Amino acid sequence: MSASSRDLPQMKRIPLSLVVIRPAKLFDLPEIVRIEHRSFREQYPRGLFIMFLENNPDTFLVAEYNGKVVGYVMAYLKPDLEGHVMSIAVDPLYRGNGIGKALMTSVINKLIEKGARYIGLEVRVSNEKAIKLYETLGFRKVKRIIGYYSDGEDAYYMVLPANEWRGGN
Ligand SMILES: CC(C)(COP(=O)(O)OP(=O)(O)OC[C@H]1O[C@@H](n2cnc3c(N)ncnc32)[C@H](O)[C@@H]1OP(=O)(O)O)[C@@H](O)C(=O)NCCC(=O)NCCS
């Protein structure tokens, strides 16, 4: 028997004004890992999240709605002053509400505040939604990295120079 539309989880339309972006805390980890599992084919070891949080407490952010974590972004400042976005994901039920864009805007502001001269990230060449989001924010594809992912897929390395950041508008 195939699943009817009644069995499928409903996408939730929510006002962005009720979504709070705040630094991640250790107690958020189970929710973060849950969203990661629903968003990526490959997962980071749990210890990596803990280490990342310890080292980058102000650039590991979550989006909270109604007391529930619905998205996260992890970024850090490299010694060469590249602000690097390591991962971003939004709970599939809450996508398309502007939460991804709000998380990226907050973390870019934070990285630039900390001295980033530009923001860089890698994205799968097939990930059209994410590429569109980054382009909306002003990122440009600067190179294609052949076989970057463990399944052999290429990545685009995308960059946003700090002096071109328009604050997400
Ligand atoms: C990429 C991701 C974080 C976007 O989160 P989101 O909350 O749905 O994104 P937003 O609602 O803020 O959308 C922002 C922009 O992204 C693009 N976008 C989002 N959903 C899209 C869709 N279904 N189709 C095309 N573009 C889309 C649009 O440019 C959109 O801007 P607009 O609404 O002004 O047109 C989310 O899809 C996700 O978690 N994907 C799985 C994990 C992933 O791929 N992460 C990126 C790894 S590099």
What tokens appear for 91 in the block?
């709970």
Ligand 1 site residues, Cβ closer than 6 angstroms: 39, 88-90, 95-101, 123, 127, 129-130, 132-133, 136
Q: Residue whose CA is closest, atom 42 of ligand 1?
A: 89
Task: Parse the chain into domains and list their residue ranges.
Answer: 16-164
Query: Can you read off the two tokens belonging to residue 115?
Result: 């001295």
What whole-number distance in Å separates Cα of residue 84 and Cα of residue 23? Answer: 17
Atom of ligand 1 nearest to the CA of 99: 7
- Quick check: 83 and 119 in contact, CB under 8 A? yes
Quickly count: other Cβ atoms within 10 Å of residue 23's Cβ.
15
- Give residue-wise pLDDT tens across range 16-33: 999 999 999 999 999 999
Question: How far, in Å, from the CA of 111 to the mean position of ligand 1?
Answer: 21
29: tokens are: 């980890």
Taking the centre of ligand 1 as the mean of its atom positions, its distance from the CA of residue 1, in whole angstroms, is 32
Instruction: Quick: pLDDT tens for 31-52.
Output: 999 999 999 998 999 999 999 9
For 58, other C-beta atoms within 10 Å of its C-beta total 15
Q: What are the percentages of helix, strand and coil residues in the chain, rounded to 5?
A: 35, 30, 35
pLDDT of 165 > 90? The answer is: yes
Residue 4 has pLDDT above 50, yes or no: no
Which atom, in ligand 1's list, is nearest to the CA of 122?
A: 48
Query: Tokens 């009644």 map to which residue?
Result: 6
Summarised one tens digit per residue, pLDDT across range 88-103 is 999 999 999 999 999 9
Up-side HSE of residue 161: CA atoms within 13 Å toward CB? 3
Q: What is the pLDDT of residue 125?
A: 98
Instruction: Identify the pLDDT of residue 8.
Output: 58
The domain made up of 16-164 has a fold known as Aminopeptidase (3.40.630)
| pLDDT of res. 5 | 46
Report the chain's mean pLDDT, rounded to a whole number: 94
Task: Give residue 131's pLDDT.
Answer: 98
**Model pLDDT for residues 50-73, shown as the tens digit of each residue:** 999 999 999 999 999 999 999 999
Ligand 1 site-directed mutation target among 95, 123, 134, 160, most atoms within 8 Å of CB = 95
* pLDDT number for residue 169: 76
- What confidence category does residue 10 fall into, taking pLDDT thresholds of 50, 70 and 90? confident
Find out whether 107 and 73 touch, Cβ atoms under 8 Å: yes
Within 10 angstroms of residue 76's Cβ, the number of other Cβ atoms is 19
Cα 133 to ligand 1 centroid, rounded to whole Å: 5
- Which residue, chain included where needed, has tokens 């076989």? 147
pLDDT mean over 119-128: 98
